[in-house]
Copies of this chain bind each other. A is one copy, B any other.
Amino acid sequence: MQSLSGTRIAVLGAGLIGVSWAALFTHYGADVCVYDPEDAARAALEARSEAPYAHLAELAPDPAPRGRLRVTDDLSHALDGAMLIQENAPENIPQKHALFAQVEALAPPDAIVASSTSALTWSELAPGFKNPRRLITAHPFNPPHLVPLVELYGPDPARLDRAETFYRAAGRVPVRLNTDATGHIANRLASALWREAVHIVAEGIADVDAVDAALVNGPGLRWSVMGAHMAYHLGGGAGGMAGYLTHLGPSQQRRWASLGTPTLTPEVCQALIDGITQEAAAAIFPLWRPPATPPSSPP
């Protein structure tokens, strides 16, 4: 799949994640129909797409002629001819199951139903289908049009292959799980790191802004180009991971035992709120800003 031109995609739900997906897919050439039962969400879609489109124009100029973006309150209309259905309904199992029953009745039989779910797992969602092999989880890291990661899990290798090809053609980096797990991969890692970040504040080792500055100017920089396993492999010198584990495995195991298991007591929560309020007041993020004047229309 070199381009998404001519590919039909359904996006279910016009919230933050749905809008971001829809802008991404159309930017890469797909024809997208967004379904949302709420009038206000449908009415806001066009305006809320402007920022993602502006980001994409800067980051990935002209990968393909932009696809058609439509919005509807008719589910069958959205699903018509779709090869992939990106579901972004609220994180509520009965609500998702009810939607899946409708989707299964209306969607093309070989369509991939890809759930963006963050908090739920494939195993929790699958009972919403007569044929659960139609379902995969395809969890983006927010916002999907900016962060490349899409975490995939499902029982049907052929559907996963097709989904992977599709997301790659939309400039994403799909990563596969072998079993489903709450938090997939990335949010498990983020949760583990934040637990220790909270512990450091709760124990008075360092302030909230110091913890964030240490991350951003140290391991965060490294992890933007190299994974944690690779960092220890390279840190092991000529012996690599094997050398690291032989020489430093026992001390790493002792370090693990010394990490914290904080509780979000009222006092800990207040320390986090006070600390982040102070950090936010001083923060200057390298946020994208729209150009002062809109680009002139093409000649």
Q: A94 → chain B, closest Cβ, in Å?
A: 18
Task: State which residues 224-262 of A face B: CB under 8 Å.
Answer: 224-233, 235, 240-242, 245, 249-253, 255-256, 258-259, 261
- List residues of chain B with CB within 8 A of the CB of A231: 190
Q: A89 → chain B, closest Cβ, in Å?
A: 18
- Bitwise interface map of A from 170 to 181 toward B, beta carbon under 8 Å scored 1, else 0: 000101111101
A57 on interface, CB distance cutoff 8 Å? no
CA A213 to CA B228, docked complex, whole Å: 10
Q: How large is the interface on A (under 10, 10 to 19, 20 to 34, 35 or more residues)?
A: 35 or more
Of A27-35, A157-165, A198-206, which binds chain B? A198-206
Q: A251 → chain B, closest Cβ, in Å?
A: 7
Pick the residue among B147, B213, B226, B256 that contacts A195 (CB under 8 A). B256
Nearest opposing residue in chain B for A233, CB measure: B276
CA A55 to CA B105, docked complex, whole Å: 60
- List residues of chain B with CB within 8 A of the CB of A87: none
A179 x B204 contact (CB < 8 A): yes
- List residues of chain B with CB within 8 A of the CB of A69: none
CA A220 to CA B187, docked complex, whole Å: 11
A273 x B175 contact (CB < 8 A): no
Count of this chain's copies in the oligomeric assembly:
2
Pick the residue among B142, B175, B225, B229 that contacts A272 (CB under 8 A). B229
A37 on interface, CB distance cutoff 8 Å? no
- List residues of chain B with CB within 8 A of the CB of A258: 182-183
B223 x A216 contact (CB < 8 A): yes
Which residues of A are at the interface with B, using a C-beta cutoff of 8 A?
119, 141-142, 147-149, 151, 173, 175-179, 181-197, 200-201, 203-233, 235, 240-242, 245, 249-253, 255-256, 258-259, 261, 263-264, 269, 272-273, 275-277, 279-280, 283, 285-286
Listed A/B pairs (19) with beta-carbon separation below 8 Å: A175-B206, A178-B205, A186-B214, A188-B255, A189-B193, A190-B231, A191-B252, A191-B255, A192-B259, A195-B259, A212-B230, A215-B223, A220-B224, A220-B227, A225-B285, A225-B286, A229-B275, A241-B273, A242-B269
